[in-house]
Structure 1
Amino acid sequence: MLRQQYSLEKLRSTLIPSNQWRPFPVAADRQAWSAVPTAVREAYLAEAAQKHGYAWPELPATLFMGYARKGNRSEYEAVYFQRRTTLFTLTIAEAIDGQGQYLDDIINGVWALCEESFWGLPAHNNNIHGYPLPDIDEPIVDLFAAETAAQLAWIAYLHRDALDKVSPVIVRRIQDEIRRRIHRPCQQRTDFWWMGYAGGALNNWTPWIVSNWLNCLLLVEDDQHLRATMIHKAITALDRFLDKHPSDGGCDEGPGYWGRAGASVFDCLELLFLASNGAINVYDQPLIKKLGEYFVKIHIADDWMVNFADAAARVGASPTLLYAFGQRVDSPDLRQMGLWASQRPIDAAARIPSSLRVLSGLFTFNEPYQAATTAIQAPYLRYAWLDVIEVLTARDQAGRSDGLFLAAKGGHNAESHNHNDVGSFIVYAKGRPLCVDAGVDTYSKKTFSGQRYDLWAMQSAYHSLLPVIDDVQQQPGGRFRASAVQATDNVQESSLSLDIASAYPPEAKIASWHRSITLVRGRGVRVVDDFALREPVKTITLRLLTPSLISEDAPGKFRLRTQALPNAGAAADGALTMSPALPMTTESLPMLPAGKLAGVWGDALQAMVFTWEAPPQTGRLETWITLA
């Protein structure tokens, strides 16, 4: 898409030199920064006031080694991200305020980051020797080494005048560190897997790192020949990601990762657009528009999103990012979603802030801030079918979040951030969770190891009535997939039908397991399982996860009642009937204290466990999920 259309020679003649590129006002432009919307000004200044005189926490070697020694990611990352979040808040606040009161705090933060041996995370410290500490002679370019570099590059861009008055060493140190840690390794190496030279699968790492690499090249590199050469290498990596991307625009990593997958593709394209005065422009490509509109298609209500794979059920949406994406690709739905998201409070302390996105929202696409007091609904699409990643979404009525919402998936069990969940589904009622995918708990060393599927949240046993046959579940791998997949939609119904037998190993003894998952508008969600087993089995066990309170009115008839969830959330009211009426017990699900799952579900999440003893070799199970 990019590397052929924009050759190295064309880049050299098209790109604005780094010393002339001024995409946004610098902090010394007081007229521009004084015009920042009041809500943004107040949010950042209020947050920064709490950080004035900030004592930058240390990142000792033993904390770094906590990952190698005990598999813990959280302890190091908590301090690591707090340093960067605080520095970003101070950076924007000083640009808004312009009085110099946060400048020393910024200098301390910049120096603290420059003194770190590795800008990445311990979990990404894949040096060739396997050392538990980073090797400064082998700089690794991971997600957050690149993210840190871009953050520092924008600090130098915004505040260079003020920093140089203190000491020219500060900006020079930033630039030297970026060249040493990012530019030289990316120039010299082709074995970073995210570059795509090895030909394997790519994921959010590629566009996310490339977007930050481009930030640094455009802002820091003053050798214009080298700058263009490296930008061509960067867009070649991005092209490899796009070449392999599902043509439906779907992100099999889920909506949280979309923010650094499809949305980072947009960051890359926007940087190239800005750095060439619009001469580098592929916004008219159908795939790019689909990448953006994916986020609209999987939106349920409020901040609840369809969360297959390692996705969180609640995902904050950047209003200016969505609006900007919508403007560039001419998507009314994306623009509308951006305006809708602007009605939420401004987050001046985001865990992983993006300088590009914030600056673009302030100075290029600031319409969401101007519309923040206007009552605007999200698009709430009636139906969407992503035919490559095999995800269906449907709701009772377009433009409204009341009624029922259904998401269902086919696919395979080698997806990025995979869960074994072929044939899984999610149901929300009146915009609240009723039958859910738990998501993923706080990452640890085990999450991305050979023990991944020892974690209950990754197993098919804990996904939406997927059968466990005599303790045999779905297995990970590309050959474990759905077959005979078909999506249909009409005024009355939206349905996904598939056979999930091939998602199981032979030991499951399944000849066929045909599942249809249907939203019958105005009535409910119907799940029908028609199965045939090759030989008799002892037990079929099926689990359905819900955050609602469970009561059994009669055999096969259950009432689900609302209860409070964290962060002002609430579970839905609903009802479930099953035929035949299988015995049901409940199972509490273990979660890490203060982990990701507890942050969404609190202690509310339970599994309804249905047990079918001595089932027939051929049979049917029909389940209805309805409003209360």
Structure 2
Amino acid sequence: MLKEKFSPVFLKKNLIPAAKWHPWPTASERQRWNSLSENIRKILVTNGIGALKKTWPHLPASLFLEFAQNGNRSNFQDQLFIRRQILSDLVYAECIESKGRFLNAIVDAAWSTCEESTWSLPAHINMQKKGVGLPDVTEPIVDLYAGETAAQMAWLVYLLNDQLNKISPLITERIRCEIRQRILIPCFERNDFWWMGFQHKRVNNWNPWINSNWLACILLIEDNEQRRIESIYKALRSIDVFVESYSPDGGCDEGPAYWTRAPASLFDCLELLYWATKGKLNVYDEPLIKEMGRYIYRVHLGNNWFVNFADAPARFAPPAGLIYRYGKRIKDNFMQKLALFFLRNKTIADKNNFSGNPTRTLPNIFLWDKIPDVDVFAPLPSNVWLSNLQVVVKRCKTGSVKGLTLAAKGGHNAENHNHNDVGNFIIFVDGKPLIVDVGVEIYTRKTFSSERYSIWTMQSQYHNLPTINGIMQSAGINFRAKNVNYSCDRNEMCFSMDIAESYPAEAGLRKWVRNFVFRENNIIITDSYEMKSVPKDLFWSFITPCKTKIQNNRIRFISTLLPERVYSGKGYLYFDHKKVKTHIEKIPVIDKRLLSIWGKCLHRLILRPTNLLPTDSFAFRIEEH
């Protein structure tokens, strides 16, 4: 898409020269900074004052080594991210106030950042030839956070160049040198970083995320115009690999949280290129670019809840400012409405839009006062069918969380950030969770290793799926849904698939057809199977955050208080008690990420046939009353 339309000749003709590229006012140009609303100014200065009071974290080699030694990646990352946040908050505060009180702390933070042996994370340093452990300073590795740090430092030089040079020109010289050595040179000279897509065509959010930061560094730091053009064109070729990996429905198989760093980072790339060519490099009319943006409101379940298939939290606050700007570019009112819905929550708006990477934050700051302050409802389309991703979302009424909402998936078990979850589903009642996808725990060394599927949240038995003869679903492109069918009319939505091939041969399946029927008053899940012989064991798992009570032919879901004063839904699961016996298992939650969403426990409903047959059919009906 990009490399064909925007050749080096096009770039040479239309790219604004480095010395003249001026997308946002620097801290020395006071008019626009001083004209910002008092609310924004107060937020940014308050953040900066808070940063002054924080202790700059120590990052010893022993902390970096923890990932190699015991698999813990959080201890180092958490301290590193505090460093980056401190610097970010100090810079924006100085740009607002322009009195110099944050400058010494900025110099200390920036110089300390330059002194770091690597800007990459311990979990990613295995990309170097010497493997996991301490970083080899002779081989700079470009990962997500090397890119993030480089872009942050590049924008620092852009915004505060005059102020830093008055203290010492060596500060900006050092920063420019580090960005060249750590990002510009390796990205220009190497083709073997997997995320580039030149040698490995399977890419994910790493591609646009790193490319967006590489582009920022090229535009802000690279002063050789020919090399600038060649670098940008190389980035365009890489970005194309990511765009071409998407199907026409625009579905993000990494889930809604990673959408914020997959299509949303693609938007960052496109915005940088749009700004750098005065709008000449513009693909916002391309259908695929539009569909990739629309995914985020299509998987919204209401409030902060999202359809969290893959490595995604069930509840999070998306980057509303970016969503609004993306929606404006593609002229999509639903995207803009979703953004405005989240912007009503000022805590979310302040946290997500006025800190972090300047590529996103600067346009938010300077366009914020132009975003209408209106009370809107989230789009919540009544019917979503992502035919390529094989994900359906169905609710009773457009624009309302009232009543039942179903999300279900087919797909395969080699998706990006995959869980073994073909045929999985989520049910909400009145915008509250009833039957859920647990999500993902804090990442460790196991998460992206051969041990991934030893983690319980990745396994099909902890999704809303059957376990057959003690066998769970397997990982791999061949473990997938077959014969996927979808239909929808005014009265009902039907979604069916055969999930037999998502299980290995040892499960003994010939066929397992899962059929969802959504009507206004109920959702019916029917599983019809045919096995090679009488199964030795068979059970269904349904995961819920609700307290539950078994009542003869049904299970009652009781509304339960969750963290942040949020409640689960309430309703009933009906079944034929003559054919099914039930057991409720308590799942203690100890992971911090899951604790913040579900609290101290979840419940797994385990339903077993009273009589095992080689061929049978079971129906489960969910109602809100």
- TM value normalised by structure 1: 0.97
The answer (yes or no) to whether the contact 1:588–1:605 under 8 Å persists in 2 is: yes
Name the counterpart of 2:87: 87
Name the counterpart of 2:329: 328
The answer (yes or no) to whether the contact 2:8–2:230 under 8 Å persists in 1 is: yes
Name the counterpart of 1:360: 363
The separation in 2 between residues aligned to 1:356 and 1:308, in whole angstroms, is: 28
1:45 Cα deviation from its structure 2 partner: 2.2
Deviation readout 1:509-542 (Å, 9 max, x if unpaired): 1111111112211x11110111111101121111
2:559 alignment partner, one of 558, 562, 565: 562
Deviation readout 1:139-159 (Å, 9 max, x if unpaired): 000000001100111111111
1:299 Cα deviation from its structure 2 partner: 0.3
Name the counterpart of 2:398: 398
The separation in 2 between residues aligned to 1:54 and 1:447, in whole angstroms, is: 31
The answer (yes or no) to whether the contact 2:354–2:364 under 8 Å persists in 1 is: no
The answer (yes or no) to whether the contact 1:485–1:496 under 8 Å persists in 2 is: yes
The separation in 1 between residues aligned to 2:585 and 2:117, in whole angstroms, is: 45
Q: Does 1:196 align with 2:193?
A: no
The separation in 2 between residues aligned to 1:56 and 1:442, in whole angstroms, is: 24
1:53 Cα deviation from its structure 2 partner: 4.8
The separation in 1 between residues aligned to 2:23 and 2:253, in whole angstroms, is: 33
1:431 Cα deviation from its structure 2 partner: 0.7
The answer (yes or no) to whether the contact 1:81–1:352 under 8 Å persists in 2 is: no
Q: Does 1:601 align with 2:598?
A: yes
Q: Does 1:150 align with 2:151?
A: yes
Name the counterpart of 1:291: 292
1:351 Cα deviation from its structure 2 partner: 12
The separation in 2 between residues aligned to 1:206 and 1:412, in whole angstroms, is: 22
**What is the Cα-based RMSD across aligned positions, in Å?**
1.5
The answer (yes or no) to whether the contact 2:587–2:603 under 8 Å persists in 1 is: yes
Amino acid at match of 2:481: A
Amino acid at match of 1:546: T
Amino acid at match of 2:604: A
1:591 Cα deviation from its structure 2 partner: 3.6
Amino acid at match of 2:314: A
The separation in 2 between residues aligned to 1:553 and 1:592, in whole angstroms, is: 30
The separation in 1 between residues aligned to 2:25 and 2:590, in whole angstroms, is: 44
Amino acid at match of 2:539: T
The separation in 1 between residues aligned to 2:355 and 2:503, in whole angstroms, is: 38
The answer (yes or no) to whether the contact 1:143–1:208 under 8 Å persists in 2 is: yes
Amino acid at match of 1:360: P
Q: Secondary structure at the match of 2:5?
A: coil
1:40 Cα deviation from its structure 2 partner: 2.3
Where does 1:185-584 land on structure 2 (aligned, <5 Å)? 185-344=186-345, 345=347, 346-348=349-351, 353-364=356-367, 366-368=369-371, 370-371=372-373, 374-464=374-464, 466-521=465-520, 523-554=521-552, 556-580=553-577, 581-584=579-582
The separation in 2 between residues aligned to 1:366 and 1:411, in whole angstroms, is: 42
Deviation readout 1:258-278 (Å, 9 max, x if unpaired): 000000111100100000000
Q: Does 1:21 align with 2:21?
A: yes
Amino acid at match of 2:616: G
Amino acid at match of 1:363: F
Distance 1:131 1:384, change over 3 A: closer
Deviation readout 1:331-350 (Å, 9 max, x if unpaired): 11111111112112233488
The answer (yes or no) to whether the contact 1:298–1:306 under 8 Å persists in 2 is: yes
Q: Secondary structure at the match of 1:480?
A: strand
Amino acid at match of 2:117: S
Name the counterpart of 2:167: 166
The answer (yes or no) to whether the contact 1:81–1:351 under 8 Å persists in 2 is: no
Higher helix share: 2
The separation in 2 between residues aligned to 1:63 and 1:297, in whole angstroms, is: 41
Deviation readout 1:532-585 (Å, 9 max, x if unpaired): 11101121111100001101122x311111111112321111111112552222
The separation in 1 between residues aligned to 2:218 and 2:369, in whole angstroms, is: 26
- Segments of 5+ residues of structure 1 without an aligned counterpart are none
The separation in 1 between residues aligned to 2:304 and 2:431, in whole angstroms, is: 10
The answer (yes or no) to whether the contact 1:214–1:234 under 8 Å persists in 2 is: yes
Name the counterpart of 1:588: 586
1:182 Cα deviation from its structure 2 partner: 0.3
- Segments of 5+ residues of structure 2 without an aligned counterpart are none
Amino acid at match of 1:277: K
Name the counterpart of 1:6: 6
1:43 Cα deviation from its structure 2 partner: 2.1
The answer (yes or no) to whether the contact 2:89–2:355 under 8 Å persists in 1 is: no
Distance 1:447 1:219, change over 3 A: same
Distance 1:549 1:352, change over 3 A: farther
Q: Secondary structure at the match of 1:311?
A: coil
Amino acid at match of 2:534: P
Amino acid at match of 1:224: E
The separation in 1 between residues aligned to 2:315 and 2:336, in whole angstroms, is: 20
The separation in 1 between residues aligned to 2:495 and 2:42, in whole angstroms, is: 47
1:135 Cα deviation from its structure 2 partner: 0.4
Q: Secondary structure at the match of 1:609?
A: strand
Name the counterpart of 2:129: 128
1:606 Cα deviation from its structure 2 partner: 1.3
Amino acid at match of 2:66: G
Name the counterpart of 1:62: 62
The answer (yes or no) to whether the contact 1:210–1:268 under 8 Å persists in 2 is: yes
Q: Secondary structure at the match of 2:51?
A: coil
Distance 1:352 1:416, change over 3 A: farther
User: How many residues were matched structurally?
Assistant: 621
The separation in 2 between residues aligned to 1:113 and 1:493, in whole angstroms, is: 57
The separation in 2 between residues aligned to 1:483 and 1:153, in whole angstroms, is: 49
The answer (yes or no) to whether the contact 1:283–1:329 under 8 Å persists in 2 is: yes
1:614 Cα deviation from its structure 2 partner: 4.3
Distance 1:130 1:590, change over 3 A: farther
Q: Secondary structure at the match of 2:564?
A: coil
How high is the sequence identity, in percent, across the aligned residues?
Answer: 40
Amino acid at match of 2:357: S
1:79 Cα deviation from its structure 2 partner: 0.1
The separation in 1 between residues aligned to 2:445 and 2:240, in whole angstroms, is: 31
The answer (yes or no) to whether the contact 1:249–1:294 under 8 Å persists in 2 is: yes
